[in-house]
């Protein structure tokens, strides 16, 4: 996989690193408000929110993983992007008004207000573990594999370099620095991916050639129910379970909209990333399909790197590698800031009340320490004996169902009480942990368990029945002041904008047309 660079490529990489550090450090001295390190002073505009979410979302798993799926299965992976708008709309129009109404800084604080201390403490622990392992550790591990493979250095050295770069400006500049660098890096990723897609089309010659040299199934968004990996049934039923948690209740994603200047800016920020989802299959999945046509002997996981190596001229080769590094650094920096926010505001504040200066100092030290922990976890992944994507899929699917159930039902119906939430979180969380371990390790034997998307759906349905049944059988101990969707609220729903709804409707129309055309 080693690539051959010339002086132009090195100049591009050096220029990228210098601009990144300049953008990251430039704003660090301006942050005086104690919330700036966590929520950027709640001053982010829609385009900053959208690009920042894009940067955190477009990590190495997307760039490498989507090209791999494109190589081996075609556009079916586009579902994970094209269907995301539904859950981004859910975040913007359903969850965000309640989050802002509650004036929370972290996702666990919403459960504190809605369901009480026990649910709150559960989500604190889960959020920290999720950020540390699923986001930070896996991103550092994936980045280490890529960078060590590209430059021929040791895995530990590559992980250390990525961690050091991301930690430096995150610890000093907080969320504002993460957002500023996220905008810059998102632009680099998009430009580089568009160029790679263009060069691939240029090499192939015609769209008809691309289509004729690939199986017909490569151009279907929904594959038959008999497909063992990407059945339309699994996608339609299972994907929403993980998506509700990922887009609506994951600290690393939701923190960006919590930092919005106001509700409308947050909603338009979610709309912006929803619109960007239209181009993502073209620039992330299409290169994998092109690689199948141009370089059939390539291993699927190497499709993205192969396209870069074979098609990108010097200079643009450096830009492409800069885009890969950008995706890594942005995911790592977002993870660090999210962990720092939850730990400082939700864990430390329970034992000692900190003033603004103490919170800032605490945040900086926590960022550094958790970066070191993330590096250690990334190195442990290298000894696991499992493929990277198997690891991440298993980790994400373990606790998504109980959290999706509690957040969704907690927002739409006041009748869900704290006892029911605790039963689902603690009891359901334990069951999901056991089932997740069995599924990942193929216990009792391979093929015993359904696909992880279907397993998530079955658990979601079962836990939904439990949370409703327990709520009917027990009395509520807490009386939340936050109205739910079934409550009547005077005036509009927390200032919902008709123009925002109309824009969502336009986006929905475009997405429906895409599905009609490709099915």
Residues 271, 93 contacting (CB under 8 angstroms): no
> 36 falls in which pLDDT band (50, 70, 90)?
very low
What is the pTM assigned to this prediction?
A: 0.81
**Is it the case that residue 425 has pLDDT exceeding 90?**
yes
| CA 215 – CA 193 distance, rounded (Å) | 24
Mean pLDDT check: name the lowest of 104-118, 166-180, 181-195, 223-237: 166-180
Residue 466 pLDDT exceeds 70: yes
The answer to whether the CB of 62 falls within 8 A of the CB of 140 is: no
Better-scored residue on pLDDT, 302 or 29: 302
Q: Provide the pLDDT confidence category of residue 219 given band limits of 50, 70 and 90.
A: very high
pLDDT for the residue 203: 93
Q: Does residue 163 surpass a pLDDT of 90?
A: no
Q: What is the pLDDT of residue 390?
A: 53
Domain ranges of the chain: 7-26+62-486+494-518
Model confidence over 356-406: pLDDT tens digits?
677 777 777 887 888 888 888 888 776 655 555 555 665 677 778 999 999
Q: Is the pLDDT of residue 42 over 80?
A: no
Q: Report the distance separating Cα 31 and Cα 36, nearest Å.
A: 6
> How much is the pLDDT for 196?
92
CATH topology of domain 7-26+62-486+494-518: Sodium/glucose cotransporter (1.20.1730)
* pLDDT tens-digit map of 250-268: 877 888 888 888 888 999 9
Read off the pLDDT of each residue in 58-63 and give the average, rounded to a whole number.
73
Structure confidence by residue, pLDDT tens digits, 307-355: 988 898 888 888 888 877 777 777 787 788 778 878 887 888 777 777 7
Give the residue among 275, 239, 241, 247 at the shortest CA–CA distance from 99: 247
At residue 41 the predicted structure's pLDDT band, cuts being 50, 70 and 90, is low
Is the pLDDT confidence value at 488 over 50? no
- Distance in angstroms between the alpha carbons of the first and the last residue of the chain: 36
Side-chain-side CA neighbours of 270 within 13 Å: the count stands at 32
What DSSP assignment string belongs to 426-478? IIIHHHHHHHHHHHHTT-SSTTSSPPHHHHHHHHHHHHHHHHHHHHHHS--S-
* Per-residue pLDDT at 181: 67
Q: What pLDDT score does 490 carry?
A: 43
Q: Are 305 and 69 a contacting pair, CB within 8 Å?
A: no
Q: Band of the pLDDT at 35, cuts 50, 70, 90? A: very low
Q: Give the CA distances from residue 272 to residues 87, 267, 500, 503, 514, in Å, rounded to whole numbers and listed in that order.
A: 13, 9, 11, 10, 18
Per-residue model confidence (pLDDT) at position 292: 95
130: tokens are 């999720």
Cβ-count burial of 68 within 10 angstroms (0-12 exposed, 13-18 middle, 19+ buried)? buried
Radius of gyration of the chain (CA): 22
Q: What is the share, in percent, of the chain residues with pLDDT greater than 70?
A: 84
State the average pLDDT for the chain: 81
């Amino acid at each position: 996989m080693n690539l051959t660079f010339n002086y132009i490529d090195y100049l591009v990489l050096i220029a990228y690193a210098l601009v990144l550090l300049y953008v990251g450090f430039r704003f660090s001295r301006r942050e005086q408000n104690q919330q700036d390190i966590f929520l950027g002073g709640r001053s982010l505009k829609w385009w900053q929110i959208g690009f920042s979410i894009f940067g955190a979302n477009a990590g190495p798993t997307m760039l490498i993983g989507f090209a791999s799926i494109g190589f081996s299965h075609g556009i079916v992976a586009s579902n994970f992007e094209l269907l995301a708008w539904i859950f981004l709309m859910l975040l913007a129009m359903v969850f965000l008004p309640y989050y802002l109404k509650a004036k929370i800084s972290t996702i666990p604080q919403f459960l504190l207000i809605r369901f009480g201390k026990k649910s709150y403490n559960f989500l604190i622990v889960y959020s920290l573990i999720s950020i540390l392992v699923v986001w930070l550790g896996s991103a550092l591990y994936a980045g280490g594999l890529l960078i060590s493979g590209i430059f021929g250095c040791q895995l530990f050295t590559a992980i250390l370099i990525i961690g050091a770069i991301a930690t430096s400006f995150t610890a000093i500049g907080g969320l504002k620095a993460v957002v500023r660098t996220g905008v810059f890096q998102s632009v680099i990723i998009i430009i580089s991916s568009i160029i790679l897609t263009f060069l691939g089309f240029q090499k192939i010659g015609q769209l008809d050639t691309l289509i004729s040299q690939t199986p017909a199934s490569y151009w279907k968004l929904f594959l038959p129910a008999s497909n063992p990996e990407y059945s339309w049934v699994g996608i339609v039923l299972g994907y929403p379970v993980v998506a509700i948690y990922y887009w609506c209740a994951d600290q690393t994603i939701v923190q960006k909209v919590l930092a919005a200047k106001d509700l409308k800016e947050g909603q338009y920020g979610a709309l912006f990333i929803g619109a960007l989802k239209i181009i993502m299959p073209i620039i992330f999945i299409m290169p994998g399909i092109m690689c199948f046509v141009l370089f059939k002997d390539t291993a699927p996981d190497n499709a993205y790197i192969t396209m870069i190596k074979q098609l990108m001229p010097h200079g643009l080769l450096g830009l492409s590698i800069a885009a890969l590094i950008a995706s890594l650094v942005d995911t790592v920096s977002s993870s660090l800031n999210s962990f720092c926010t939850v730990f400082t505001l939700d864990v430390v504040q329970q034992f000692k009340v900190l003033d603004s200066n103490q919170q800032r100092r605490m945040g900086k030290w926590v960022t550094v320490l958790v970066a070191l922990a993330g590096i250690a976890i990334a190195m442990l992944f290298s000894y696991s004996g499992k493929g990277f994507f198997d690891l991440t899929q298993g980790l994400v699917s373990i606790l998504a169902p109980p959290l999706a159930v509690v957040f969704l039902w907690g927002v739409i119906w006041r009748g869900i009480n704290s006892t029911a939430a605790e039963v689902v979180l603690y009891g359901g969380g334990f069951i999901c942990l056991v089932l997740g371990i069995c599924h990942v390790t193929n216990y009792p034997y391979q093929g015993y368990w359904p696909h992880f998307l279907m397993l998530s759906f079955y658990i979601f349905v079962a836990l939904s029945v439990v949370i409703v049944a327990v709520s009917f059988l027990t009395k509520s101990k807490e009386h939340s002041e936050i109205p739910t969707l079934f409550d009547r609220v005077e005036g509009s729903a927390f200032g919902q904008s008709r123009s925002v709804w109309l824009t969502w409707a336009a986006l929905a129309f475009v997405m429906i047309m895409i599905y009609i055309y490709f099915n």
